[in-house]
C-alpha cells in the first residue's frame, strides 16, 4: 500500500463556479485506487478565497490576519465539499491542523487550511512528513513550473526537473495572503528540510494523475 498526499488547488475545484464535472471524474479516479492505497487530499481556497479577500481589501481591510482567516475558511469550505463528495468512502472529519491528523480506517482523508501564515501547501508538506509519504502531488491549473510566468512571458520554458534551491529562487521567500505561485515559499523551505519531494502537475489532466499514482512517466515538474 502506498500513501499519497495531494494538494488539490482550489482553482481546480472552483475555477469560476464549482466544477462538478471535474469533481465527479476526480472522485472516480481516487476511488479506483483507494482500495490498495491511502490518499490525503488537502484542498486549497482558490477563486473562493481570492473573491472574499478582494472584497475585504476593497472595504479597506488590510490586516493580514483577517485576510488569512478568510482564506482558511474558504479552504475548509472547499474541503467539506470534497469530503461530502466521497461520502462514507472518506473519513467524516477533515484535517484542520497538520499536527492533529484525524485517525480512522478510511483510505481517503480530506483536509483544508490551518491558521494564518500557513498555506494548504504547507499543510500538505506537514502531512506528508507525518504519514511518511514520499512526495506531495501538487495539482494546479498549470502543466509545469515555468522559468517565468507564462501568462506574462510567452517564451517561458517548462521545467521538468528542479532542485529546491532553484524553486525557492523562483517563488521568493515570503508568504502573502491569497498569493498565487506554483508552490508556497514557506512550504518549499519545510519540504527541503524534511526531504519531501514535490510533483507539480495539471490537476485537470486526470489520465496524467493516474500515471503519477501508478509510478509511470508523466507530464509535470519534479522538485527534490
Residue with cell 508552490: 183
Task: Give the torsion sign (CA, 44, 7, 104, 37).
Answer: positive
Statement: residue 178 has pLDDT above 70: no
* Domains of the chain: total: 1
**Residue pLDDT, tens place only, 9-21:** 999 999 989 999 9
What gap in Å lies between CA 62 and CA 56, rounded to an integer?
8
- What mean pLDDT comes out for the span 1-10? 96
What gap in Å lies between CA 106 and CA 121, rounded to an integer?
22
pLDDT category of residue 181 using cuts at 50, 70 and 90: confident
Strands (E), 74-219: 108-111, 135-140, 145-146, 158-159, 161-162, 197-202
Instruction: Output the pLDDT for position 149.
Output: 84
Instruction: Output the pLDDT for position 120.
Output: 95
The torsion defined by the Cα of 48, 53, 55 and 58, in degrees rounded to 10, comes to -160
Q: What percent of the chain has pLDDT over 70?
A: 98
CATH number of domain containing 79:
3.40.1160.10
Instruction: Output the pLDDT for position 177.
Output: 63
Statement: residue 154 has pLDDT above 90: no
What gap in Å lies between CA 31 and CA 9, rounded to an integer?
19
Q: CA 80 from chain center: how many Å? A: 15
Q: Chain-wide mean pLDDT for the chain?
A: 94
Instruction: Output the pLDDT for position 176.
Output: 72
What is the value of pTM for the model shown?
A: 0.95
**Residue pLDDT, tens place only, 45-96:** 989 998 999 999 999 999 999 999 999 999 999 999 999 999 999 999 999 9
**Which candidate, 204, 190, 201, 192, places its Cα nearest to that of 166?**
192
- What mean pLDDT comes out for the span 147-165? 91
- What range does the domain containing 208 cover? 2-223
pLDDT category of residue 224 using cuts at 50, 70 and 90: very high
Instruction: Output the pLDDT for position 28.
Output: 99
Least confident residue range of 122-136, 149-163, 178-192: 178-192
Amino acid at each position: 500500500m502506498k500513501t499519497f498526499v495531494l494538494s488539490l488547488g482550489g482553482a481546480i475545484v472552483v475555477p469560476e463556479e464549482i466544477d462538478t464535472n471535474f469533481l465527479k471524474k476526480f472522485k472516480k479516479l481516487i476511488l479506483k485506487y483507494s482500495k490498495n492505497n491511502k490518499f490525503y487530499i488537502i484542498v486549497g481556497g482558490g477563486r473562493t478565497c481570492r473573491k472574499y479577500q478582494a472584497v475585504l481589501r476593497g472595504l479597506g481591510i488590510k490586516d493580514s490576519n483577517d485576510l488569512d482567516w478568510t482564506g482558511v475558511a474558504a479552504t475548509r469550505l472547499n474541503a467539506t465539499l470534497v469530503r461530502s463528495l466521497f461520502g462514507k468512502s472518506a473519513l467524516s472529519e477533515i484535517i484542520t491542523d497538520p499536527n492533529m491528523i484525524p485517525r480512522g480506517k478510511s483510505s481517503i482523508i480530506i483536509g483544508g487550511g490551518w491558521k494564518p501564515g500557513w498555506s494548504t501547501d504547507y499543510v500538505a508538506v506537514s502531512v506528508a512528513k507525518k504519514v511518511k509519504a514520499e512526495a506531495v502531488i501538487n495539482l494546479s491549473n498549470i502543466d509545469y513550473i515555468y522559468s517565468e510566468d507564462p501568462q506574462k512571458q510567452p517564451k517561458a520554458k517548462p521545467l521538468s526537473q528542479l532542485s529546491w534551491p532553484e524553486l525557492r529562487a523562483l517563488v521568493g521567500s515570503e508568504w502573502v495572503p491569497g498569493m498565487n505561485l506554483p508552490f508556497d515559499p514557506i512550504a518549499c523551505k519545510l519540504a527541503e528540510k524534511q526531504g519531501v519531494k514535490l510533483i507539480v502537475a495539471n490537476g485537470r489532466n486526470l489520465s496524467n494523475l493516474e500515471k503519477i499514482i501508478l509510478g509511470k512517466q508523466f507530464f509535470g515538474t519534479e522538485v527534490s
